[in-house]
Structure 1
Amino acid sequence: MELDLATAELTAVLNRLRRAQGQISGVIRMIEEGRDCEEVVTQLAAASRALDRAGFAIIATGLQQCLTGPEDSGRTGEDRDAMRGRLEKLFLSLA
């Protein structure tokens, strides 16, 4: 199945991934500078969470697209956004 992310969803996922990319670059720099282990691990954990959130957002969007077909075209964008939000929260609660 090909994932078709709407513009707003794609923007949010890309922002999370860019944030994680910056955090990972920061972790590398911190290690090279010999920074405190606790600081490094804290930043690494933040990057991991950002990646997890991006992945869950992609999964939730894909699942929503699988569950909604042409027969659901009468749903409003707000209804679809609410469903997507619920699916994303469900996946996050399982992590």
Structure 2
Amino acid sequence: MDDSISVRELRANLARLLDQAEEGEPTVITRGGTPVAALVPIEEYSALEEAADELLAREALQTLAEEGDAPRATLADVLADIFGPPANVSEEGAA
């Protein structure tokens, strides 16, 4: 990723930079000279997401294997931890 541009240049040249990304050329975006983001071809982004998902899945499986008989949580428990307990909706209000 040798090509880097400022946010100002990004705004002025967005269409050209999107064309370059479609052609496989990544661009680093800087703010005040510091790299803050990258404009990459969607294929590269998708591959990075997939690799990250696979790594997280492997780590989760390893943790499960190490914990063995540790208490298990249901999906409902996990969702409640993330989003809070479900709201009780009466039949009258559920129209």
Answer yes or no: same fold by TM over 0.5.
Answer: no
TM-score (norm 1): 0.36
Q: As a proportion of its length, which structure holds more strand?
A: 2
In proportion to residue count, which structure has more helix? Answer: 1
Higher radius of gyration, 1 or 2: 2
Q: Using CA pairs below 8 Å that are at least 6 residues apart, which structure has the higher relative contact order?
A: 1
TM-score (norm 2): 0.36
